[in-house]
Structure 1
Amino acid sequence: MKKILLGSVLALCVSSICLQETVAQATLKAPTASPDATLVQNFGESDITVTYGRPSARGRKIFGQLIPFDSLWRTGANDCTALALRETVIVGGKKIPAGKYSLFSIPGPEEWTLILNRDATLHGAFGYDPQVDIYRFKVKPEAAGRYYETFTIEFGDFNPRGESSLNLMWENTLIKIPLQTIADFNNMAEIQKRLIDKQEKNAELLFQGAAYYYATKRDIQQAKTWVEAAEKMDNKTFSIPNLAQKIYADLSDYPSALAAAQRALALAEKEKLSSAIKDLNKRIADLQKRVGLGKN
């Protein structure tokens, strides 16, 4: 009986030790050297998604040594970096249709080659086939504003024209990949066709062209010409003189801006646009001071 009891105790002890070892093994997990990341950015009328691995420098010289110049790089770590577009986007000056693409690069001291490839299933660059490249383009590297220990991808430089950049940053190097929404491309093509080439005489179209040029900071003199033409054809729509007063003010033509603001105010009062009335009264007071008509 004692032998049986002793055997049971020993078996329990061994089982307990094995369990403790199993628990210890399960909790001792080394951190991932190059963690994966997913970046989702609203752009245009949909999203762009970037998935990539994030290696760190850890005291190593990166470009020219760890990442040799003039050699294909996965542009990250682990699986190939992937770029998913839900609609057509202009990347590096070329329209790229919706789809998922791998992003490879060939770094150089003076110039990088960026590559969009149709195969987004690769592990690193293994199996890369240049025959399924969709686009190659050049970008000059810049000095980053700070040191990046870990490889980082982010979006930046958004502007009213629907432009942005996909920024690759590691060590002291910054690569900016130009992006542009297809909407701006289409809008400018429509303006070129209808207002510039055909010179259509339509008040709403002229107003829209002027408003788009003004919002996207293009040729403000052209915007002025179009908004003036629109108001000659339609003097009852509040938005036309309201845009005109902004354009005149930006051109420092304060007397014309004041007159346009007063016309806009009259239409706003007629349409009972309370918020616009309040804003225009402040605007008129400021413009009167600028042309010397305000109180001293």
Structure 2
Amino acid sequence: MRNVTFIIGFLLYSLVCRAQLTTPPIGGNKKASVSEQIGLTTVTVHYDRPGVKGREGKIWGTPIAHYGFQDLGYGPGKPAPWRAGANETTTITFSDDVNVEGKPLAAGTYGLFMNLGEQETTVIFSKIVVSWGSFYYDPALDVLKVTVKNQSLDRSVELLTYSFVNQTDSSAAVALSWEKRMIPFTISVDLVGQQMASFRKELLSKPGFTWPSLVQAATYCLETSHDLNQGLIWADQAINARYIGQKNFQTLSTKAAVLTALNKPDEAKVLMTEAMPLGTLNELHQYGRSLLAQKRNQEAYAVFKTNYDKNPNQFTTNLGMSRALVALGKPKDALPYLQAALPQAPNALNKTNVEAMIKAINEGKSN
């Protein structure tokens, strides 16, 4: 009798121990996560992936993925939305504040539930992040709800999948795809605001002890036409800050460009007069190209001419002079510079471009 009792006890102990071991998720629902950066914000979805398993046409609007709120037969017995996945609660994490379908949502981790419908779905972001499915869903813990249109898919997706689609620099749609339906909701961020805040923070630490970082931040203000006064402060620091400020072509020309954007052309001109003798061949060439892009053709010609006088009869300066003269409506004057540049071309692509420019001038098609 003692032996039987011992054996039964040992078997029960073995079963308990076995139940504590790590095994694959029940039902064959694979665990998954997907993450992407939108602007400077990282968005991550953790979920379990149920399969269609031959149930095409029997997924949506059935107990598998039920429409509306239903009593799921477990937990508190209150009507609940779909779990938007399988097994544990699907979660979504934002490293920074975002907008979801244009509505603000603070940084953090949220449980993801869905109030499904035939044509549209309400996506629910909840404070519930550690639970099983949606059995313990509580509407009092909802943080945000957005309603989106369901989309049909041409091909069936076997395993439920979250992915990022329709990306831009500052937005992307998080899309749930399963069987022949996709449910996307758009996440967007204030990219410029984030970037400016990041610059302010970073410039207080190691990056702020170098003038190139200050030039980079000031240039961003220029490129986005955002907070040009702050850009001017950074540009000035790149020149004059103690220990790190330097007067060189990049720092002086950056401040001049900001002053120009602030409608202070006279101050900008003084700085560029100081900057020009400090410019390298490539710096002057790129500055001239930027002036051409702004249709400031006469100023561009002066820069290209200065560069040519400093670095005569080189491929880059010959090409610069030709571009400036063509922009000024003097293609025939540009032709000798192009002919000089042709044998100087550093590679086949440059040679082809010069040949095309020569051909266009000879055919009267350069303007």
Provide TM-score, normalisation by structure 1: 0.61
One-letter amino acid of the counterpart of residue 68, structure 1 = H
| CA distance in 1: counterparts of 2:131 and 2:61, whole angstroms | 24
Structure 1 CA distance for aligned equivalents of residues 104 and 299 of structure 2: 40
Pairing 1:151–2:160 present:
yes
Q: 1:98 to 1:288 in 2, by over 3 A?
A: same
**Contact (CA 8 Å) 1:154, 1:167: kept in 2 or not?**
yes
- Structural mapping, 1:13-32, within 5 Å: none
Q: Is the 8 A contact 1:84 1:98 kept in 2?
A: yes
Query: What is the CA deviation profile of residues 76-107 of structure 1, one whole-angstrom value per residue up to 9, with x for unaligned ones?
Result: 10111101122212222122212110011112
Give the deviation of 1:157 after TM superposition.
Answer: 2.1
Report whether the alignment pairs 1:56 with 2:51: yes
Q: How many residues align?
A: 231
Alignment correspondent of 2:65? 67
Unaligned residue ranges in structure 1 (runs of 5+):
1-25, 189-203, 215-225, 249-255
Calculate the TM-score normalised by the size of structure 2. Answer: 0.51
The one-letter amino acid of 2:28's match is A
One-letter amino acid of the structure 2 residue matched with residue 62 of structure 1? I
Residue 28 of structure 2 aligns to a residue whose secondary structure is: coil
Query: In structure 2, what is the equivalent of residue 212 of structure 1?
Result: 224
Superposition pairs for residues 1-296 of structure 1, below 5 Å?
Answer: 33-60=28-55, 61-65=58-62, 66-71=64-69, 72-160=81-169, 162-184=170-192, 211-212=223-224, 229=261, 233=265, 234-235=268-269, 236=272, 245-246=292-293, 256=295, 262=301, 281=319, 285=323, 288=326, 293=331, 294-296=357-359
Q: What residue identity is the alignment partner of 1:49?
A: T
**How far is 1:270 from its partner?**
10
Unaligned runs of 5+ residues in structure 2 are 1-20, 70-80, 197-215, 227-257, 276-282, 332-356, 360-367
Large movers: runs of 4+ above 4 Å: 28-32, 185-188, 204-210, 226-232, 237-246, 257-272, 277-289
One-letter identity of the residue aligned with 2:114: S
Cα pair 1:258 1:288 within 8 Å, conserved:
no
Percent of aligned positions that are identical: 23
The whole-number CA distance in structure 2 between the counterparts of 1:244 and 1:135 is 48
Q: 1:231 to 1:83 in 2, by over 3 A?
A: same
Task: Considering fraction of residues, name the structure with more helix.
Answer: 2
Task: Say which structure, 1 or 2, has more relative contact order (CA 8 Å, 6+ apart).
Answer: 1
